[in-house]
Amino acid sequence: MPCAHYVTDMAKLPIILLPDPVLRRVADPIVTIDDEVRRLADDMLETMYKAPGVGLAAPQVGISRRLIVLDVSETDDEKTPFVMINPMIVKRSDKPNVHEEGCLSIPDVRVEIERPAEVTVEFLDREGKRQELAASDLLATCIQHEIDHLDGRLLIDYMSRLKRDMVIRRFKKLAREAGGV
């Protein structure tokens, strides 16, 4: 049972925080794309924009399903949101890229992570049509970060054990103080 420690800052959906166990589960595939899934995607986009963030995975809002939303556009005027259902990386470049990443489920923690600079991802769009997208730079990083969430991996898994344990202890303490875990 998830703990009750959430960020609610006027977001459409509550964002689940570490140490909630839903963040460590492998998310279930979405079998049927219907109005409920499309509504969830829309609510997740609204939540992501209000947070503000550039990506959000369904487990981060307490729903263990394989759905991510992203938007790495530079300005609010040029929003280019992506909705990816059952995303799967089918190709990774050998060229590495390092980005300092943050996570809405682990606020105020930043980690430099090396990932492939380019990926190709296959997914279903909000209408259920199979899509393929070649992504690079920040979009590639964001896709990999959000797919990590679907697989129960968090950015703290890229830290040293000592730093990771310190972050986990801090968030467990915050959850206890908030009446959660």
Residue with tokens 């964001």: 142
Torsion of CA 35, 40, 42, 44, to 10 degrees: -170
DSSP symbols for 48-68: HHHTT-SEEEGGGGT--BSEE
- Is 146 part of the annotated catalytic residue set? yes
Q: Which amino acid is at 55?
A: G
3-state helix, strand, coil split of the chain in percent (to 5) is 35, 30, 40
Q: Which of 36, 101, 146, 177 is catalytic?
A: 146
Active site amino acids: 146
